[in-house]
Amino acid sequence: MEFETRAIHAGQDPDPTTGAVTVPIYATSTYAQAAPGKHAGYEYSRTDNPTRHALAEALTSLEGGAGTIVTASGMAATSLIGWSLKPGDHVVLPDDAYGGTYRFFAKVLSRHGVEFTAADLTNTDGLKKAIRPNTEIVWTETPTNPLLRISDISALSEVTHEAGAALVVDNTFATPYLQQPIALGADLVLHSTTKYMGGHSDVVGGAIVAADADVLDGLRFLENATGPIAGPFDAYLVLRGVKTLGVRMDRHSFNALMVARFLEADDRVERVIYPGLASHPHHGLASRQMKNFGGMVSFIPKGGPEKAAAVTMNTELFFLAESLGGVESLIEVPAAMTHMSVVGTALEVPEDLVRLSVGIEHVDDLISDLDRALGAT
């Protein structure tokens, strides 16, 4: 079956007891057993819950993995992977990783003896230089946030596997509709389902999809032992979002391309970063690796950080807010907002960079909104 069909049907058969066509919210912590230890697959909701289970099945199908752990947030997913490391292990991170990922390794796991190197992973030379004998995990994001750099997942997976390490791909920006890292050699795919998977800015969630059943078992053990699970209400919201992922990503990608072209042609704009533009340095790779280019656009207006701030305060449809991936358009200045925690580190981003999460409103309205805001001072 094709992606759009699996998004609606995988793990989502009608409820066996009532015929409900929508997976119910199983608000229960425990399950009655027929005899001690004899149950229908559920014993306690930290271990598993039918609503969370349905979402896990859907994500497994969409990413093409062996199974999925559904977590309470993207960071809960990241920290669950962190529990699989031990003192003396080494991790390679991209030098423009999601700020929270960087903070977790730099400020939390480093206190427990896990070492890391932030490297340029847009080419394999950067990775080869960063790898050490004790490297256990190579972590990549593509496209990155907010600079929208693209890394070559299959090339990175070759180098990673030669070194005996595992490749983790944060697929939050692309989603499995646009890019399926497991087919390209990734061992684990991580999501903040808060973003495009949920898609409506009404839930915080995360997931890890494992390519291999043994690795999945190890993560299941850690999930049950440490408890970073999503509740059934949140799992329901993400599952509801996933059903429309394909149509939303088509529209996000179309709108973002139109917005990027508008900005690139405007002489009030210094530079536009969007992987779908021929001017993007990794446009060729993005075209091969992705089905389309997604909804995130970054740009630098002429006039410095003051101008960047003025633009973000003068849009009406683009809300000035952190986060991304919802149906509504958002605008922000990463250096002052989402990326405050990386100021002064290798991950610092330009102060006058503006990031757009282009929503699925009518593109003409979005372009008029930006046009007006660029004119304001």
* Catalytically active residues, by annotation: 46, 98, 170, 195
Q: Quick check: 151 binds ligand PLP (CB under 6 A)?
A: no
Bridge partners of 106, per DSSP, are none
Question: What is the closest distance, in whole angstroms, from the C-beta atom of residue 263 to ligand PLP in the complex?
Answer: 22
Q: Quick check: 94 binds ligand PLP (CB under 6 A)?
A: no
Q: Quick check: 99 binds ligand PLP (CB under 6 A)?
A: no
255/357 with CB nearer ligand PLP: 357
73/292 with CB nearer ligand PLP: 73
Q: Quick check: 98 binds ligand PLP (CB under 6 A)?
A: yes
Q: Quick check: 194 binds ligand PLP (CB under 6 A)?
A: yes
Measured CA to CA in angstroms, residue 255 lies from 48, 175, 237, 246, 297 at distances of 39, 17, 24, 14, 10
Exactly one of 48, 95, 152, 170 binds ligand PLP (CB under 6 A); which one?
Answer: 170
Torsions phi, psi for 17 (to 5 deg): -85, -30
Exactly one of 12, 145, 151, 255 binds ligand PLP (CB under 6 A); which one?
Answer: 145
How many residues of this chain bind ligand PLP (CB under 6 A)?
Answer: 16
Q: Quick check: 140 binds ligand PLP (CB under 6 A)?
A: no
- Residue 227 and residue 345: Cα distance in Å, rounded? 32
- Taking alpha carbons only, the member of 144, 130, 198, 135 closest to residue 167 is 135
- Residue 8 and residue 26: Cα distance in Å, rounded? 19
CB nearest ligand PLP: which residue? 74
- Binding to ligand PLP, residues 52-81 (CB under 6 A): 73-75
Exactly one of 56, 121, 204, 317 binds ligand PLP (CB under 6 A); which one?
Answer: 204
- Residue 223 and residue 91: Cα distance in Å, rounded? 21
Q: Which residues bind ligand PLP (CB under 6 A)?
A: 73-75, 98, 100-101, 141, 145, 170, 172-173, 192, 194-195, 204, 206
